[in-house]
Amino acid sequence: MKPELPKLPDLKLDVDHRIPASWDFDTGVGLILLIPDQHRQVMDKAPWADYLKLRLADFPTSANPILISGPRGTRTSIGFVSEDVRGFKALSQARALLAPLMAERCRKVNVISMLDQPETACILAEALVSAAYAALFPLPKLSDKPEDKPPLAVMNFFGEFEAADFRYAKATAEGNNLARWLTQLPGNYLTPRIYREYAQALAQQEGWEAEFYDCDQLERMEAGAFLSVVQASPNRDAGILQLRYRLTGAEERALALVGKGICFDTGGSNLKTGGSMLGMHGDMQGSAVALGTLLALTRLNFPAPVDCWLALAENHIGSRAVKCNDVVTALNGTTIELINTDAEGRMVLADTLALACRKPPRAILDYATLTGAVVSSLGNRMAGALTNRRHWVEPIIQAGEHCGERVWPFPYEDDYDDDLKSEVADTLQCRTAGAGDHIYAARFLGRFVDKDVGWLHVDMASTGTHKGGLAHIPSDIQGFGVRFGVEWFKRVIAE
């Protein structure tokens, strides 16, 4: 049984600037009240004013959100909204407001804004829609038992919500859903071959051009870095898939998305031990996010051309596996001394980046669950970033803060290369020991990016999963990066 690619859940969205005179709704209808945190007295003018005053007295003033039943039983989630709520905080508050109503199996949710700032109301509305699409989306479950689907089908927004950009919320949700769905599939349900079939079917549906560089072609191109990873694979189904998105008349240089797609990682000759191999079917999440970002950009009719490069492979152990101190030659002629075969992600990305630069793109954004070092540095709430453009550092932070997927830059200085010198090759693959591997990985990858091309590397090992969800995403698997990618490319073309 091959699971089908997902579709965006059905959710009807309506906006009415008139606030209902009565808040007593039918059974199965939940209510979200948005109240300005600094001006809670606006509730004195609400239809339930006296009831709210009595009911809220039972809660500490710090409680936020508050879940109550209205005078006639309407389940009501009350959110006290700060004037500066944006990005991550808005998405987090939206999930906290919506989750209890979905748990109560509300068929419809009415959102009433008593906020005095329409911009803030629209930010919360978009966040609520994003949270709803994430919660309604079923991740793949390989079982004959019927799925328990939440019944939420309608969201009505009453108040000054006319400027809310639900189109953006829907597009980025669809991309995120796709990324999470692919990442959850077990390794035997998402081999490089099956993954390619999914992506090519999506390309046909969306009107993207597709080209696949298989192992035979990569051998002719002397892409030794990529091929070193798949040398022990029992199937020759690995390769690099390029997808091209073009609007009619778009002729400028393309932007490039690049994603690490390791469908399973044993560690190779440096075999992972114990529980370290659990979850390694998700080592392809960077490629899933790149694909989800391309889908979101397509839904938004993004004006610039975009190429998406997916490095699809498995890292196996076997008699043909490469070993420590082996030397391989990458597609751009760089010789690499292997230090750790479990650092396979940077090897497949090296040749993929070099291939993407053969026709230099306008800019490159790559995603990869690459290093444990970035997790040690940031925990599991932000992604790490490194770039060859110093003036991008602050815009990277701002883009993450604006869209709610926070990204924090690390230094990208050339003296780190001194620690990657090899006695037999142009470079070491990585260091033998020591801290800062996320920085050294980026310095290694930078060798395969043309200096004239602006490049942003996002190490999302720190955000690929988060127990219990994060921001508006309720699942452990995050699909982190789609919102950031859309926001970043919007800023790049605006430069």
Active centre residues (catalytic): 272, 346
Q: What pairing do the DSSP bridges indicate for beta strands 66-69 and 209-214?
A: unpaired
Q: Which residues contact 444 (CB under 8 A, 6 or more apart)?
A: 346, 350, 420, 427, 429, 430
Question: Using alpha carbons only, how large is the chain's radius of gyration in Å?
Answer: 24
Helix ranges (H only) for 370-436 are 372-378, 393-403
Q: Which residues contact 491 (CB under 8 A, 6 or more apart)?
A: 395, 399
Q: Which residues contact 379 (CB under 8 A, 6 or more apart)?
A: 462
Strand partners, 156: 14, 110
Task: Give the burial class of 433: count Cβ atoms within 10 A of its Cβ; 0-12 exposed, 13-18 middle, 19 or more buried.
Answer: exposed
Residue 233 and residue 316 in contact, taking contact as beta carbons nearer than 8 Å: yes
Residue 369 and residue 460 in contact, taking contact as beta carbons nearer than 8 Å: yes
Q: How far is CA 9 from CA 62, 137, 161, 209, 473, in A?
A: 34, 6, 22, 26, 15
**Three-state SS at 407:** strand
